[in-house]
Each structure stands twice: as structure tokens, then as C-alpha cells.
Amino acid sequence: MRGIFLEPERCPIVWSTPTMVRVTPLLHELFDYLTTGKLSGEQRQRVEAVVFDALEPVSTIPIGARMPTDPRARAVAERIAADPSGNAVLADVATDVGVSSRTLARAFVAETGITFGQWRTQVRLASSLPLLAANMPLARIAGRVGYATPSAYVAAFHREVGISPGRYFAD
């Protein structure tokens, strides 16, 4: 989909923080319509007005983890982010970047504020969100982000976020 640029000066919505919105089928179609490039200025304004009326914020609990800046920890983080389904243990990835597992563990805590294991869980859960939003079956999501079973994925999600994956995008 091409970019959609709504005119900020015409936006009647003022949210003080970045806000996730529910993209309903209607909103999706309106976005598609806005990208046709065939709208006059007045048509575009009317469609944008409907878009603004259709925007529905969703309350979500943020999922994600900050990337470390230490070159060794960053290399490990990028590897995990590129393939969250991998099951390498801290000792293995530390050896790959030429440090001890203790050094790498300390780097993750110092730079991200959470342990390596917690960081990997956050990356896995963040990687699952687009799949969850696309209504992919939990069994496929679990496998793609590194969980052996759907129940293990649901348990991790619930433990970290406080709600089930099925409720994350629901009211």
C-alpha cells in the first residue's frame, strides 16, 4: 500500500501520545481509497473526515525491547530480532561474539534494563503482534516466534502482558 498522508491541520483528533487504532474493514477500504490518487481536494477532505470519525483507539500494553548499543550485545540482539524462533542459549550466543555469558548478560541488563531472557521474550512477543493482528492461528504464531506449543506462547504472552493474545487487540 502506498503512503497515506492526512492533512495534520485538518485533523480533529488530538492524542497526547502515540495511539494504536483498530483498523476495521471500513477503515481499511477508506485507506485504500485514499491511495488511489484520483481524488479531488474536496473528495479527499470528505473521505478524511470519515476516516477521522472511524478512528477507534485501542488500549494496549506495550510490547517490545530496546536494542542494546554495546557492539557485542547488539550483534546478538540483531540476530535474535531477525529470527525470533531461534533457541540459542546465552552461552552459545556469547561464544559467537567472543565474550563470556556473564559479560553478555551484564551488557543486556545495563543497556536494556532487563535480562537477556526477558529481552528475548519481549522480541518474540513483539514479533508475534503482526501475525496476531492478521488473525493467524496461534499454533503457527507460536512456531514462528520460538514457542514449542501454542499454550507456551499464550502463557508467555499472558505472563508478560497480563491478558491473552486473543484479547490484546480486543476491547
C-alpha 102/C-alpha 108 separation (Å) is: 10
On whether the pTM is more than 0.75, the answer is no
Instruction: Measure Cα distances from 103 to 27, 45, 109, 141 in Å.
Output: 48, 56, 10, 32
Three-class DSSP category at 124: helix
Q: Which domains does the chain have, with CATH numbers?
A: 8-54 (no CATH), 71-168 (1.10.10.60)
Three-class DSSP category at 49: helix
- Is 4 a residue whose pLDDT tops 60? no
What local confidence, expressed as pLDDT, does residue 2 receive? 47
- pLDDT tens-digit profile of 93-123? 999 999 999 999 999 999 998 999 999 999 9
Task: Identify which of 49, 98, 79 has the alpha carbon closest to the alpha carbon of residue 146.
Answer: 79
Q: What is the DSSP letter of 17?
A: S
What local confidence, expressed as pLDDT, does residue 127 receive? 93
Which whole number is the average pLDDT over 52-77? Answer: 84
Look up residue 18 and give its amino acid.
Answer: P
Better-predicted residue by pLDDT, 3 or 99: 99
Which whole number is the average pLDDT over 75-79? Answer: 94
Share of the chain above pLDDT 90, in %: 49
- Is 163 a residue whose pLDDT tops 80? yes
**Ranges assigned E (strand) in the chain:** none
Better-predicted residue by pLDDT, 4 or 136: 136
Residue 21 — very low, low, confident or very high, per pLDDT cuts 50/70/90?
confident
What local confidence, expressed as pLDDT, does residue 1 receive? 41
Report the Cα 37 to chain-centroid distance in Å: 29
Task: Identify which of 161, 90, 105, 10 has the alpha carbon closest to the alpha carbon of residue 80.
Answer: 90
**Cα angle vertex 169, ends 152, 149, to 5°?**
15
